[in-house]
Amino acid sequence: MDRLLLPHDYYKSVFINCPFDDQYEPLFYAVVFAICDLDFNPRSAKDVSDGGQPRINKILDLIESCRFSIHDISRTELDPMHGLPRFNVPLELGLDLGCRRYGTSDHKEKLLLILDTHRDRYRTFISDIAGQDIAAHNGSVERAISTVRDWLRPHLNPSAGKTPSGRTIYRRYEMFQVDLPAYCDKLRWDVDNLSFADFSWAVYDWINNNPI
């Protein structure tokens, strides 16, 4: 891929690769909010609406168009129905590592954060990723926000103002969650069934009206 084809926001985009189940949603939305609050651009396979495109192609496009990636491997566990592991997230993590190694010179600057429930759990099933940035959130929204904030902090321009702490972002996220149902009511939306695009715009409008 020629570097001219990279999106203009490549250096500010964060690809979130995580499980898309109901249980994980609180963590996913919290991470999206934290990324927006730090003036980065969250991207997810959920925001690509081209139904005709094979899913893996969408993910490859996202990997190529984001400098930062967050891979949450916490749901890599045996499916109780089939007794087989769920392996989508580690597969996409592998594609991202490949992109960094074999991609264009811009891709050599890619940075990956691997999240899991416990810090050393990965050693039992995917030990080859040792040496990457790996952190545990223990399933806690506040911890996930702080982890993402701490990881992105060195890349925040100190001249652009003070960097909010993880706790500050978490408190702002709680305030946003209080406002979100009323906002959805006004637009006659189902707060439990928001599309990624609509949620991202809601976060954008809220942060614009509530600057740090």
Partner 1 sequence: MKSSTAKKTKKSETPRLITGDELDALTLHVVLRDVGWVVREDNGKVRSIHRTQTEAICKGRAMGKKRAGQLAIHGRNGHVRKWEVYWSGPIRVERKPMRPRSRPVNATRKAMREAMKAVLRERASSLGVQQ
Query: 47 or 142: whose CB is closer to partner 1?
Result: 47
Query: 74 or 202: whose CB is closer to partner 1?
Result: 202
Query: From the CB of 173, what's the least distance to partner 1, in Å?
Result: 14
Query: From the CB of 145, what's the least distance to partner 1, in Å?
Result: 16
Helix (H, G, I), strand (E, B) or coil at 158: helix
Query: 81 or 187: whose CB is closer to partner 1?
Result: 187
**What gap in Å lies between CA 201 and CA 105, rounded to an integer?**
32
Residue 26 has which token pair?
């609180």
Footprint of partner 1 (CB under 8 A): 3, 6, 8-12, 36-37, 39-41, 43, 47-49, 105-106, 108-111, 154-155, 157-161, 178-179, 182-183, 186-187, 189, 195-198, 200-212
Query: 61 or 142: whose CB is closer to partner 1?
Result: 61
**What gap in Å lies between CA 118 and CA 85, rounded to an integer?**
17
Query: From the CB of 68, what's the least distance to partner 1, in Å?
Result: 10
Supply angle C-alpha 63, 86, 190, rounded to 5. 75
**What gap in Å lies between CA 49 and CA 211, rounded to an integer?**
30
Query: From the CB of 77, what's the least distance to partner 1, in Å?
Result: 30
Query: 81 or 190: whose CB is closer to partner 1?
Result: 190
Closest CA to 43 of 24, 19, 67, 72: 67
Query: 25 or 39: whose CB is closer to partner 1?
Result: 39
Residue 166 has which token pair?
């993880």
Query: From the CB of 84, what's the least distance to partner 1, in Å?
Result: 33
Residue 203 has which token pair?
């976060």
Query: From the CB of 128, what's the least distance to partner 1, in Å?
Result: 18
Closest CA to 193 of 65, 46, 74: 46
Closest CA to 68 of 30, 13, 18, 26: 13
CB 89 within 8 A of CB 17: yes
